[in-house]
Structure 1
Amino acid sequence: MKKYMIFLVSFVLLFSLTQMLSGILLTATYNPDLLETRNISANLSQKVVFGKSSAVPTLILTVLSATIACFIPKILKN
């Protein structure tokens, strides 16, 4: 039970950390489309423009977090 709790806490912390770092990186590198913004404001459209999303980065971060969390109990044991 102790190993499971260490794994669970490690996984949640690592996953949260990677999600926050990913969000910071995406926010820092975001470049809005100024032409699209100008067209929308000129027409006073009610359309909301959203960016593209993909489940692949979340899946990669989940696998990475789970892999690292799996090895943390082994490191703490030594």
Structure 2
Amino acid sequence: MKRFLIFIVSFTLIYLLLQILSGFILTVMYSPPIENAKSSITSEVTFGRASYIPFLIGLVASTTAYMASKKIEKSE
């Protein structure tokens, strides 16, 4: 049970950190298309495309959490 709690807590913290970091990077790098500035306001909504970034963030977070839980387990 202790191993499970260590893994869940470390996974949650690492996943949250990576999501905030990727959101910050995506926000900083975003530049709206110039054609949106020329057009008048319309009721049409443009949605983004599907991304594999959340999957990669989850994979990195779970791997790092697994390694951290193993390291904490060895030190005890």
- TM norm structure 1: 0.84
Q: State the shift of 1:47 in Å.
A: 1.1
Gaps of 5+ in 2: none
Q: State the shift of 1:73 in Å.
A: 1.7
Percent sequence identity over aligned pairs:
35
**Which residue of 48, 52, 62 maps to 1:51?**
48
Deviations 1:18-53, CA, capped at 9 Å, x for gaps:
0000000000000101213322x1xx3211223333
Deviations 1:44-67, CA, capped at 9 Å, x for gaps:
32112233331x111111011000
Paired positions, count: 74
Gaps of 5+ in 1: none
**Which residue of 60, 64, 67 maps to 1:68?**
64
SS of 1:22's equivalent? helix
User: In structure 2, what is the Cα distance between the partners aligned to 1:28 and 1:53?
Assistant: 19
SS of 2:27's equivalent? helix
User: In structure 2, what is the Cα distance between the partners aligned to 1:11 and 1:58?
Assistant: 14
Q: RMSD between aligned alpha carbons?
A: 1.3
Within 5 Å, give how 1:1-78 maps onto structure 2.
1-39=1-39, 41=40, 44-54=41-51, 56-76=52-72, 77-78=74-75
User: What is the letter of the counterpart of residue 20 of structure 2?
Assistant: M
